[in-house]
Amino acid sequence: MRGSFGFFGKSTVAALALATGLVAGGTMIGAGVAVAKDAKPAKVTNSPEFIKIAQTLQKPVADVAASKDKAAAAALVPQLAAAEASVKTAADRIIFGQWQQQIGAAAEDKVLQQKGLQNMADSGQLPADKQGLVTYFLGVTAYQNKDYPTAVKALGPLVAANYSDDSAAEILADAYASQNQAPQAIEALKGAIAARKAAGAAVPDSWFKRGNLIAYQNKLGPQAIEMATMQVESQPNALNWLGAGQLVREFGNFSKEESLDLGRLFLRTGALDNDPKYTEREFIEYIQAADPRRLPGETVKVGELGLAKGALKSSDPFVTDALSQARGRIAADKASLAALEKDGRASPTGKSAVATADAYLSYGEAAKAEEMYQIALQKGGIDADRALTRLGIAQVDLGKYADAKATFAKVTGVRAPLAKLWSVYASSKVQ
């Protein structure tokens, strides 16, 4: 992750100077010391010691800032170091910090740049509308220097206050993660997301991706699932649905039953429409979970879709065998549904009813599936979380989105994160 954010170049110095109003040739006071225009919110003065030093340094600094000559800048670095002892007042500090930042950038000395930015920020003399910008540059420069505590200290308050530059939140999170503080990184991103939403603005997709990556790399299952779910809530596109589902499965300890309902979510959200190189595994897992001997109709539907999209190959023995088995079973399977439904209604437990509902759902008969799942839940003796998940799926297919969300909310255990994704999908259908 580190190295994703570019270092300041010489052009950044000019941009910073223009944006802050801090320029080397600013208003003259005292014995010819250059200070920033409008940079003093309170009455401050330069110390005699600094004025004396400034008389010799002001022009060389201004010349280097204008020319961006690396060799000339490097020659000034020792002089700046020697002059630091003359900094006595806040007015001295902001000017000296400006010099350090400019000469550090021209000399490609990032440590000196950071010192300059720190002095500018600490001086208390920046205009209120420029403090954030300088603090942001300080945080970024500290991050680039691998001074992660300073980066966190500088960027944390900015991000919490919804700083306008989107990169601030990612850099803050990465600074935490670089200190082996992945949970704090995720919390920082969640805070940034909350602040951006509170401001009524769109949340960058890159924030979710950064959170997903940090959580995944650090094996933070709950946080990875939470970030992935937030991502599809914010931007429910096909690729995000695929990534969210894969993360939920990765940390969800799924059996083939959960994988089946994840495949169904992928099918409905368009996740299986992604590039075949990303979906081949998903089609195979879906077919394995459906099982041509158990749900032949759904197996054929998914297998043929995978072939049509180029994710599966007709030369693959696994695919041809699964489709051959499934096609040979469909007629008999459909013919048995009436008897299975009769048994499900009459049985004292919900086992036959849930099996009937599963069959109806696999053939796209959502209304019958909904009724039989409800009967199964009333009778009991079944995996209630599984039945509730599939009842919610049937209700989604029927366009009963409010009912579906209420059903998904009842799901507990290992299926709860999967049900949450289904609930997000149901919400997206009514927006």
**Three-class secondary structure of residue 27 per DSSP:** strand
Model confidence at 304: pLDDT above 50:
yes
Q: How far apart are CA 34 and CA 55, in angstroms?
A: 9
pLDDT of residue 10: 38
Rounded CA gap, 338 and 130, in Å? 74
Give me the pLDDT at residue 22, please: 45
67-81, pLDDT tens digit by residue?
A: 999 999 999 999 999
Rounded CA separation 232/234 (Å): 5
- Find the mean pLDDT for residues 375-382: 97
pLDDT digits (tens, 9 = 90+) for 143-197: 999 999 999 999 999 999 999 999 999 999 999 999 999 999 999 999 999 999 9
State the first-to-last Cα distance of the chain, in angstroms, to the nearest integer. 35
Q: Is the pLDDT of residue 23 over 80?
A: no
What is the spatial distance between Cα 186 and Cα 181, in angstroms, rounded to a whole number?
A: 9
Amino acid 9: pLDDT: 40
Mean pLDDT (the chain, rounded): 90
More confident: 94 or 17: 94
User: Over pLDDT 70: what percentage of the chain?
Assistant: 90
User: Length of the chain, please?
Assistant: 431
What's the average model confidence in pLDDT over 41-54? 84
Residue 431's pLDDT is 67
- Its pTM stands at 0.83
